[in-house]
Amino acid sequence: MALAVYPGSFDPVTNGHLNIIRRAVKLFDQVIVAVAYNVRKKGLFSVQERLEMLEFVTRDIPGVEVDSFQGLLVNYMQKRQATVVLRGLRAISDFEYEFQMAHMNNYLAADIETVFMMTGAEEFYISSNIVKEVASLDGDVSGLVPGVVEEYLRRKNKK
């Protein structure tokens, strides 16, 4: 069975992520969307909230599982018996970081391969960070994130 892990912060999930997930389920039998507990990045949303949003927006997409992991991605991959890491690539700015991560993961676990998918043409400029900034300044993000995420952002920014 072709199994891919799509890891990330998903703080929060955007239409760009969702575009990748929808296309990835056509290539893999199962896609595990895995939210990382990142010790270096303090998120706007708790991992629990990110999981809730992801569960909601992927509920109608067969072949998707939402999960979280702590520690090294390669250890999680081994636990799930997965060998493919799936990552979305936007414009050139993503390249260096993605290149480093792919090689580091391959160095740590030689049987792990990273597969990149280009983000959709409509979404290539969207990032969770830019969405959070615009939403915090009361900008309209309705075309950039699913409705449920917009609602979570609104609630978070009211606090």
Active site positions, annotated: 17, 41, 90, 128
Nearer to ligand PNS, 47 or 158 (CB): 47
- Our finding on whether 115 is near ligand PNS (CB under 6 A) is no
19 near ligand PNS, judged by CB under 6 A: no
CB of 158 to ligand PNS, least distance (A): 25
In this structure, what token pair is assigned to residue 91? Answer: 């414009």
What is the token pair recorded at 29?
Answer: 């039998």
Q: Establish if 72 lies at the interface with ligand PNS (CB under 6 A).
A: yes
Which helix or strand (DSSP H or E) is residue 117 part of? strand 113-118
Residue 104 binds ligand PNS (CB under 6 A): yes
130 binds ligand PNS (CB under 6 A): no
Phi first, then psi, for residue 32 (nearest 5°) are -95, 115
CA separation for the pair 108, 100 (Å, rounded): 12
Burial call 110-149: b when 16+ CB within 10 Å, e when fewer: eebebebbebbeebbebbbeebbeebeeeeebeebbbebb
Q: Which of residues 37-56 bind ligand PNS (CB under 6 A)?
A: 38
Binding to ligand PNS by residue 77, rule CB under 6 A?
Answer: no
Binding-site member from 3, 25, 61, 101 for ligand PNS (CB under 6 A): 101
The window from 6-14, 48-56, 58-66, 113-121 that contacts ligand PNS (CB under 6 A) reads 6-14
Q: Let me know: does 87 contact 5? Beta carbons within 8 Å.
A: no
From 5-13, 23-31, 53-61, 132-140, give the range in contact with ligand PNS by CB under 6 A.
5-13
What is residue 3's three-state secondary structure?
Answer: strand
Q: At which residue do the structure tokens 């936007």 appear?
A: 90
Contact residues: ligand PNS, CB under 6 A:
7-9, 36, 38, 72-73, 101, 104-105
